[in-house]
Structure 1
Amino acid sequence: MAPPPPTSQPVPPPDPLPASRRSRVPPFAVMQIVAAANERRAAGADVLSLCVGEPAGGAPAVVRRRAAELVEHADLGYTEAAGLPALRHAIAGHYARWYGLDLDPRWVVVTTGSSGAFVLAFLAAFEHGDRVALARPGYPAYANILRALGCEVVDLPCGAAQRYQPTTAQLDALDRPPAGLLVASPANPTGTMLDAAALDALAAWSAAHGTRLISDEIYHGLTYAGPDGRRPPLTTAARHPDAVVVSSFSKYWAMTGWRLGWLVLPDALVDAVDALAGNIALSPPALPQHAALAAFSEEAYAAAEAAVARYADARALLLDRLPALGWSHVAPADGAFYLYADVSASGLDSVTWCARLLDEAGVALTPGTDFDPADGHRWVRLSFAVAPEVLSAALDRIEAWQATIGVAPDTGTTP
């Protein structure tokens, strides 16, 4: 008689393979606030959102009409990896219109949002292990993308004394020049800007030290300071031939979900970025590219300027209400559509402050921990890219709520 077959033993499942170390970047806290606000809305609650950097109103009507025509009639296949040639020429024309700059369209690369632009720029400009300096507080994706690509981030803590922007003195104090310096003007979350002297000084320092200057200009066009109510924009593309400029259709033209941005590159990086773009994404999305040609029409510029006027009205209202809010430390809101404010007088950290404000008053703001891991527990970011009446109602709620937690008005507040 044959022996019975051996009893099979269950094989334990293997341990799951972990995510890469490079992918372990922190999530955006703002998205947690957005999710909580959406959950409240779904349950029937009234929520006023001042937490997301998204312009109210959406794309200009002429862009929407063109997109509808394209969906109906166009062949929306792949474009060139660097973008539709007609759109690259139109972007170059925009630089002539705004900055008086004669820009070779070859230096323009269209990207999948400014986020895609940063990935391509960092890959083309920096080696693994390179050190890149940037201001803190700042947009968190800068540091997170750089770290995911193997770069070392050098924080430059920037406070009120330097208007929340980096300085050459800070760069001189580093043990050695970094491979890159990233600046943003207007900046997120502070809204502060670099004037011509400061920008030229940073550009000159970068050129003298072999540092690649990358300039985030996605909020260009959204400026409020100056005697005529608008400060003429300054582009680094006109001031430093080796700089990389990042821009986007998302903010001035309110085309956030269209996911379309661009780079202005020095000639030495054009071929590298073109090759990277073709391998990473083949091409930017075709429909937004073709529709974005209409963004450079007079109708679209007029619509964008009307939106900027609404943001300016909302900004003026917010600055008028600062004393009643009791926020005595705020960043100068020169541009973009943000106010960065210190709420530590409440006795609450910013994450708790924002969570309670949403839960108890139905207003969503962003905690500063997204933008500053060291000091952001004291700060919150408010987006005023909303209708003035929405902002006014939200500020009424914030004032009333703060009174319940013991925050008094500050008659000494100055914008």
Structure 2
Amino acid sequence: MSKSGGRGASIRSQVEPFRAMSVMAEANRLRAEGRNVLSLAVGQPVSPAPRAARKAAQAMIAAGPVSYTDAMGRMDLRRAIAAHYETSYGVCVDPARVMITTGASGGFNIAFLAGFEAGDEIALASPGYPAYRNIMRALGITAREIPVGPEDDYVLTRAHLEDAYAERPFQGVLIASPANPTGTMTSPDELGRIADFCRETGVRLISDEIYHRLSFGKTERSVLQDLDEAIILNSFSKYYCMTGWRIGWMILPPELVGAAERLGQNIYISASDLSQTAALAALGAAEELDAVRDSYRPKRAAMMERLPAIGFRAIAPIDGAFYAYAQIPEAFASATQFAARLLAEQHVALTPGIDFDPLRGDAFVRLSYAGDERDVLEALERIDCFVAKG
């Protein structure tokens, strides 16, 4: 019992913080003091939502009602997303299998609840996005983290899964390509092998494709092309530059549609009608959004050139998304301390790797190049100065 006589927080709520957000909060505090802080900490595109999306939202507000929608989302948006899969991947998707969610984060809650029981295990790569394991823990699901590193280009493979499954069977696999925090991509052939593994073992496959359309030279493939029963998650946050609109989607296998709808009805009723209106317009803004993606190329090139020159090691292949994941220079023992000192002394924010890999991550940091190009280049200069001083 707490001193006030209340029960206190539940055990299931005792998840780790998302430290990238804590770093962002400290950076904002320093900015409020008038410091010139440059942030490489958060995957926040510097560009606003597409013009068509903003215009559609403004028109909706001017017209009047912004309402509840069906828990599965508006049918016009669901049809448009289904059409996107046919155009982009050659896959025919029934719009009835499309669910509009409150960002990919809301989708993960629904996917884990609909597809798994408390006590199930889901295999996933480490380093990986921390909210995966934190949401699982809150729901009573175990994250079976499989270490990946420079020796396998930070990519989870079928061979990894076979070894882990032989040791102890698990009920799910979660993959992400391009991945957060590494930016690495899984090859189409490897995606096919993973899909075959899941089909052969009856393991449920979840694919986080939130960074699709943000790749630089490598082939993107949706897992839906290899396994129709997979759960696919995506969002308008990254390629579409709509983080704060909190709007995403899922493609569900037919047997989970009813369960997902019931959960959605009770957990959040529906995704925002306003955001759905904007998202529908954003789907037609590829020319504008491709130009935004192309603006990441010089920043990515700067990361690839400067990080090894500064002394960063074991750098993950920067295939897609807008992240670099790297081991800190040899003179520094702790990435957490490295990041704290860098923010305090040089006013550059980045995320310590302990967020993404609880066991090995304190030797690594994630750097986002989603921000303004001048800020990214200046941040690299400040990091170089910091490392040189030791």
What amino acid does structure 2 have at the position aligned with 1:208? E
1:34 aligns with 2:24: yes
Within the candidate set 254, 260, 275, 1:267 is matched to 254
What amino acid does structure 2 have at the position aligned with 1:219? Y
SS state at 2:357 partner = coil
Cα distance in 2, alignment partners of residues 186 and 302 from structure 1: 21
Unaligned runs of 5+ in 2: none
1:217 aligns with 2:184: no
Equivalent residue number for residue 310 of structure 1:
295
CA shift, 1:75, in A, is 2.0
Cα distance in 2, alignment partners of residues 33 and 376 from structure 1: 16
What amino acid does structure 2 have at the position aligned with 1:360? E
CA shift, 1:15, in A, is 3.0
Deviation sequence 1:227-267 (CA, Å, 0-9, x none): xxxx3320011210211000000000000000000000111
Are the counterparts in 2 of residues 164 and 192 from structure 1 also a CA contact under 8 Å?
yes
Cα distance in 1, alignment partners of residues 260 and 169 from structure 2: 24
In structure 2, the CA distance between the partners of 1:13 and 1:166, relative to structure 1 (3 Å rule), is closer
Within the candidate set 294, 315, 338, 1:353 is matched to 338
1:337 aligns with 2:311: no
CA shift, 1:354, in A, is 0.4
What amino acid does structure 2 have at the position aligned with 1:109? M
What amino acid does structure 2 have at the position aligned with 1:190? T
Cα distance in 1, alignment partners of residues 321 and 161 from structure 2: 26
Equivalent residue number for residue 385 of structure 2:
400
CA shift, 1:344, in A, is 4.8
1:245 aligns with 2:232: yes
Equivalent residue number for residue 129 of structure 2:
139
SS state at 1:354 partner = helix
Cα distance in 2, alignment partners of residues 127 and 186 from structure 1: 28
Cα distance in 1, alignment partners of residues 70 and 262 from structure 2: 11
What amino acid does structure 2 have at the position aligned with 1:191? G
- Name which one, 1 or 2, has greater alpha-carbon Rg: 1
Runs of 4+ in structure 1 over 4 Å off: none
Are the counterparts in 2 of residues 99 and 233 from structure 1 also a CA contact under 8 Å?
no
Backbone CA RMSD of aligned residues:
1.3
After TM superposition, the score normalised by the length of structure 1 is 0.91
Cα distance in 2, alignment partners of residues 13 and 279 from structure 1: 33
Cα distance in 2, alignment partners of residues 283 and 340 from structure 1: 35
CA shift, 1:13, in A, is 7.2
SS state at 2:99 partner = strand
The total of aligned residue pairs comes to 387
Equivalent residue number for residue 363 of structure 2:
378
1:58 aligns with 2:48: yes
CA shift, 1:388, in A, is 2.1
Equivalent residue number for residue 408 of structure 1:
none
Equivalent residue number for residue 263 of structure 2:
276
Within the candidate set 11, 15, 31, 1:21 is matched to 11
Within the candidate set 107, 115, 119, 1:129 is matched to 119
SS state at 2:339 partner = helix
Cα distance in 2, alignment partners of residues 13 and 383 from structure 1: 42
Are the counterparts in 1 of residues 329 and 387 from structure 2 also a CA contact under 8 Å?
no
Are the counterparts in 2 of residues 177 and 209 from structure 1 also a CA contact under 8 Å?
no
1:201 aligns with 2:186: no
Are the counterparts in 1 of residues 113 and 139 from structure 2 also a CA contact under 8 Å?
yes
Within the candidate set 177, 191, 205, 2:183 is matched to 191
1:364 aligns with 2:349: yes
What amino acid does structure 2 have at the position aligned with 1:238? Q
Are the counterparts in 1 of residues 53 and 277 from structure 2 also a CA contact under 8 Å?
no
Unaligned runs of 5+ in 1: 1-11, 226-230, 406-415
CA shift, 1:374, in A, is 0.2
After TM superposition, the score normalised by the length of structure 2 is 0.97
Deviation sequence 1:72-104 (CA, Å, 0-9, x none): 104211111100000000111111221122211
